[in-house]
Structure 1
Amino acid sequence: MAKSLSLPSRPFNSPSSSIGTHLSQPPKIPCSSISIQSQSPKDQLLALISDQERGLKTQKSPQKLASIVKSIDALASLAPNSVTTDDSLSATWRLLWTTEKEQLFIIEKAHLFGTQAGDVLQVIDVKKKSLNNVITFPPDGVFFVRSSIEVASSQRVNFRFTSAVLRGKNWEIPLPPFGQGWFETVYLDDDIRVVKDIRDDYLIVERAPYTWKE
C-alpha cells in the first residue's frame, strides 16, 4: 500500500506588487493550498489524512471530515465503473484513516486496559470468501472478528460476522457473532483501497508489508 504522505505547510508570503491604481490585487493563497491543489486526487487524499491519527482528530473537525469526503468522492469519480471485488481485493490491508466509531474508540481507549493499539487490519481472501477485522495490541494481544463474504457487484461485498476472539499470550476468549452488512470499495490500486460501508462510514487502508494470519 501507499505510505501516508506528511506534507509540511508553509505560508506563501510573496510580497504583493501594485500594477496600477485601477487594478485590484489577487488574494494571497497559502502555499499548502497550492501544493494540495497541484497534486493528484490520490495524493491529495493521503495528504489530508496524514496528520489525522487514523481518524481520531477528524472526529473533532467537521470541516476536515468534509474535505476528506470530498477528496474521496473526487478519487472515486476517476473510475466509477471499475471492478474492485476481484482477486486484487485479497490482501492484508492496514488502516490509515476511518470514521468507524467502534474502531476509533478502541484505538483511543486501549491505554485504559494497560495496552496500546498497534496495527488495525482487514484481511480479505476473495476465493475463500473470508474477511477478518483485526486490531493488534503488541506484543501479544489481538482482537479479531471473523466474517464470511459474498461478492454482490463490481464494487460491493456483503459480509456476515461469524465469530470474534480476544486473544492474549496464553489465553483466548471467544465472543459471539454480531451482525452483517456490506461495503463498497470505491477505489483500489496497488497501494491503497478506499471503502464506504452500509453505515456511510469511510475507511482508507494500505497494503500491509506483511500477511496477517491467526
Structure 2
Amino acid sequence: MLHVILLASAALSQSVSQFRRGPPALAALTVKYDSSRAVAIVTELAQRSIGALPEAEGTARLKSSVLELLAPYGDPALGVPSATFDEIDAKCRALEARNPTGASTAVAALDGAWRVRFSDAPPPSNGALGPLRGRAFQIVDVASRTYRNELSLFGGAVQLSLAATFEQPSASKAALRVAFRTLTATLGGVALPSIQFPTGTERTWLLTYTDADTRVVRAGVDGGRSTARELGLIKQGEGESPDSYLFYLTRAPPEEAAPASFWRVVSSTMAAAGQRRALKTALMQACEGQRLGAATDEAGRARIINLIRELEQLNPTARPAQSTKLLGTWRVVWTTESELLALTNSGLLGLPCQGASQTIGRTAAADERGAQRGAFDYSLSNEISFEGGFLRVGSSCEPQAQGGRVNFRFESCAAKWRSVQLPLPPVGSGWFEVLYLDEDLRLCTDVRGDWQVCIKG
C-alpha cells in the first residue's frame, strides 16, 4: 500500500510543477492531464497492492476453516453430514481456484508424508476400517513413482499398508493414474501374507490443489476395476467419475507417519500411564490442606505449577476442548485466582467459604444440533459456596475446534444467602486453556495467567 501512496504523491507533485511553470490553457490541460485516467491507474495499483495480501490471508483462512468444519467429526473426520460436506466442498473449490502448483510441478510437490484429514471415499481410503477410526497417511516417493497408504488402528496393534504405483499420463495435466499393487496387514507386530490386487485396479487422482502444507485431491475409478464394487460394498457405477471423491490432506513429518512398532507403542503407553499416576498422586498431595491455594507459599506454588506442566506433557486427551470428558461438575481443589483466594480467606459478608465448583454442560441448542457445534452452545456455571448461600456466575462457552482453549462470556451473576437472592450485573468475557484432561482430573490456565486444579464430581 505504501508504494501506491508514493506513486499518487509523485503524480500530484508532477501536476503541481506543471502549474508552477505557467497556467496552461484549458484545452491543453485536458489533453495532458486526464484526471479520470490517473484515478483509474492509482485505483488499479491499489487493488493490485492490497489484493495480494487479502488473497494470501484468505487462503490461510480457507484452509483453517476446512479443519474447523472437520474437527467435530474426529481426525480423520467420519460421518460428516451432507450439509457440512457441502460447506467443505465449497471451501475446497475456492482453494482449487487458487492452486499455486501447475501441472509441470504437481508431481514433485507430492513428495513426502501426508495425513488424511477427510475423504468421502469408501474405507479404508477414508482412514477407517468399518466403524473403526485409525490414523491414515499417504507416503509418496516421487523418485520411484510409488506411494503407500498407511492405516494404523488401536495404537499400532493393527496396521494396513496399501502399496501402489503411479504415473502422470499427460505432462500438461495435473492428474495421476494410480495402480494398486498389494495390501499387507500387520497384527500385533506380525505381518500377514500380502494380498495382490487384480490387474487393472486403478484410480485417477486429480491434483486440484497442492502447496507446502495442504493437498486437495479429487479421485475416482475412471474405468479401472473397483474391489469395493466387486465385493458389493458400493453401488454399481459409484465412484466412476474421476472427481467422485474428495480427499483433504495436510503435510506430516516423516516420524509421525512412520508405522509404529506394536510392542514399542504398548511399552510407551504403559510407561506414560504409570508416570501420569505418579504425578497425579504427587499433585493431589501437594494440594492437600492448601485451602484452595490460600495457604500455599511460594515454594509450594512453584511445585504445583511444575507438576501441572509435567502432566501437560502427558495429556491423554487429544483436543481436550472438544472432548465430552470436559462436561460435568468439577470441584476446584487449588487455584491462583486472587478473587477466590480472597473469598477463601475472608468469606462473604462474614460467611466462611465452603468450596468452589464449575459445571460445564450442553445447552438446548447444542443438543438439537447434536454433533454440529456452534458458537457459545455450551454453558459454564462457576459457584462459590458459603454457609447458607452461594455466589454464582453463569456463562456461555465455546470450545475451539483445535487444542484446549474454551472461550466464555458472562451472562448472569447472583448472590444468595438463605432465602434472599440478589442478582448482580455480569461483566466481561475471556478464555481458559485445558492443559490436561482425563476422566477425573482437569488442569487449566486462563487469560489472566492463573492456574487451576479441578477434580470431577
TM-score band by shorter chain is 0.7 to 0.9
Q: 2:351 aligns with which of 115, 118, 122?
A: 115
- Equivalent residues of 2:415, 2:423 under 8 A apart: yes
Matched, 1:129 2:378: yes
Higher helix share: 2
Q: 2:305 aligns with which of 69, 72, 79?
A: 69
Separation in structure 2 between the aligned mates of residue 56 and residue 200 of structure 1, nearest angstrom: 17
- Equivalent residues of 2:316, 2:438 under 8 A apart: no
What are structure 1's unaligned runs of at least 5 residues? 1-36, 209-214
Secondary structure class of the residue paired with 2:413 = strand
- 1:52-93 alpha-carbon deviations (Å, 9 max, x no partner): 1210112xx222211111111000001387221222111111
Shift, 1:188, TM fit: 1.2
**Structure of higher RCO (CA pairs closer than 8 Å, 6+ residues apart):** 1
- 1:12-42 alpha-carbon deviations (Å, 9 max, x no partner): xxxxxxxxxxxxxxxxxxxxxxxxx9x7111
Separation in structure 2 between the aligned mates of residue 205 and residue 99 of structure 1, nearest angstrom: 12
- 1:173-202 alpha-carbon deviations (Å, 9 max, x no partner): 111111111001111112111111111101
Separation in structure 1 between the aligned mates of residue 304 and residue 350 of structure 2, nearest angstrom: 32
- 1:125-164 alpha-carbon deviations (Å, 9 max, x no partner): 14451001101113x3011001010111331100011120
Q: 1:196 aligns with which of 445, 450, 457?
A: 445
Shift, 1:119, TM fit: 2.4
Partner of 2:411: 162
CA radius of gyration, larger in: 2
Map residues 38-187 of structure 1 onto 2, 5 A cutoff: 40-58=278-296, 61-79=297-315, 82-85=318-321, 86-110=323-347, 113-126=349-362, 127=366, 128-138=377-387, 140-152=388-400, 153-187=402-436
Indicate the RMSD between aligned Cα atoms, in angstroms.
Answer: 1.9
Separation in structure 2 between the aligned mates of residue 191 and residue 81 of structure 1, nearest angstrom: 12
Secondary structure class of the residue paired with 2:353 = coil
Identity over the aligned pairs, expressed in percent?
Answer: 36
Give the TM-score normalised by structure 2.
0.35
- Displacement over 6 Å in runs of 4+: none
- Equivalent residues of 1:98, 1:202 under 8 A apart: yes
Secondary structure class of the residue paired with 2:293 = coil
What are structure 2's unaligned runs of at least 5 residues? 1-274, 367-376
Map residues 25-36 of structure 1 onto 2, 5 A cutoff: none
Q: 1:207 to 1:116 in 2, by over 3 A?
A: same
